[in-house]
């Protein structure tokens, strides 16, 4: 009985001695974690202020802020683990093994990260551009490490992985300052083609937001089964494009009606037959 009590006393003494030995390291690790967290927040705040004073690309700013924040957190994690007594060589081996396993499990995320880097390097679009990609049309709001956020016509946010964006077709409607519109309109075979063309050109001439150089043009695009199809082409600056498009569409209907020019449309005639 006395031997058991002695053994218990020895174990207790060893446990207390071990606690006293590791307690400073644990306290320093906790202090380092708290101080490091506040330091990372302070650094991120200073980085945001730095970018606010500089005229850098918004996409680059967002990407760098996200990357620096993640890198600092990884460094803090390594420092805290090392403070707890984990050997650096052992930690490097563990991180290498974990990195390999995580890399295999997160191939898609790594592809998205690489896609984000490619987007920043080659700049197929920037924040504020209107793009069409992956079946989504909208304005680019944010480019982060892994994804790009696009605001759609319905004021919804579409999140597209950067890997898919960098490896597929992207249509950037703001890459150039001007855009050309193409409007097809059909008129009846009995209507005056010359008069219709003059009306279309007059609509463009009277609208200030439609560019006069290059000049708008109208031509007969097709002799259809039930209509003569005219094609109107004109140029407008990007900010004025859609307003000009909708204005021309509406004016065509008003002015063709006033001039008696028929715009054919499919009609179905139902004849009732009497059976005796």
- pLDDT per position in the chain (276 positions), as tens? 555 566 666 656 566 665 666 667 777 778 878 888 888 888 888 877 777 776 666 666 777 777 788 788 878 787 777 777 666 565 566 666 655 555 544 556 778 878 888 888 788 888 889 999 988 999 999 888 788 999 998 889 999 998 888 888 999 998 899 999 999 999 999 999 999 999 999 999 999 999 999 999 999 999 988 899 999 999 999 999 999 999 999 999 999 999 999 988 776 656 566 665
Q: Can you tell me whether residue 107 is helix, strand or coil?
A: helix
Note whether 190 and 144 are within 8 A (CB): no
Neighbours of 161 (CB within 10 A): 18
pTM over 0.75: no
CATH code, residues 11-105:
1.10.287.1260
Q: Which CATH architecture has domain 116-172?
A: Roll (2.30)
Q: Can you tell me whether residue 45 is helix, strand or coil?
A: helix
Cα(146)–Cα(70) distance, integer angstroms: 12
The CA–CA distances, whole Å, from 79 to 66, 70, 276 equal: 20, 14, 100
Q: Which long-range contacts (CB under 8 A, 24 or more apart) does 44-50 make?
A: 44/68, 44/69, 44/72
Domain ranges of the chain: 11-105, 116-172, 178-259
**Length of the chain in terms of residues written:** 276
DSSP for 227-265, please give it: -EEEEEEEEEEGGGHHHHHHHHHHHHHHHHHHHT-----
CATH assignment of 178-259, among 1.20.1250.20, 3.40.50.1700, 3.40.50.150, 3.30.70.100: 3.30.70.100
Note whether 191 and 251 are within 8 A (CB): no
* pLDDT 10s digits, 207-264: 999 999 999 999 999 998 889 999 999 999 999 999 999 999 999 999 999 999 998 8
């Amino acid at each position: 009985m006395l031997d058991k009590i002695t053994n218990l006393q020895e174990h207790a003494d060893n446990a207390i001695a071990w606690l006293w030995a590791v307690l400073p390291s644990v306290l320093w690790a906790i202090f380092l974690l708290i101080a490091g967290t506040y330091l990372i927040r302070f650094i991120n705040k200073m980085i945001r202020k730095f970018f606010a004073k500089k005229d850098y690309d918004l996409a680059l700013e967002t990407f760098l802020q996200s990357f620096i924040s993640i890198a600092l957190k990884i460094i803090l994690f390594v420092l805290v683990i090392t403070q707890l007594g984990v050997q650096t060589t052992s930690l490097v081996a563990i991180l290498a093994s974990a990195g390999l396993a995580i890399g295999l499990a997160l191939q898609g995320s790594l592809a998205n990260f690489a896609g984000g880097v490619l987007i920043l390097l080659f700049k197929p679009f920037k924040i504020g551009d209107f793009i069409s990609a992956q079946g989504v049309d909208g304005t680019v709001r944010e480019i982060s490490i892994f994804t790009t956020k696009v605001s759609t016509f319905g004021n919804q946010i579409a999140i597209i992985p950067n890997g898919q964006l960098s490896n597929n077709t992207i249509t950037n409607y703001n890459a150039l300052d001007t855009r050309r519109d193409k409007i097809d309109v059909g008129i009846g075979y009995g209507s005056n083609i010359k008069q219709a063309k003059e009306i279309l050109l007059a609509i463009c001439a009277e609208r200030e937001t439609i560019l006069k150089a290059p000049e708008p043009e109208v031509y007969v695009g097709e002799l259809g089964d039930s209509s003569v199809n005219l094609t109107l082409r004109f140029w407008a600056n990007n900010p004025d494009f859609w307003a000009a498009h909708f204005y021309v569409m509406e004016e065509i209907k008003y002015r063709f009606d006033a001039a008696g020019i028929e715009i054919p449309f499919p009609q179905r005639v139902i004849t009732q037959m009497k059976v005796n």
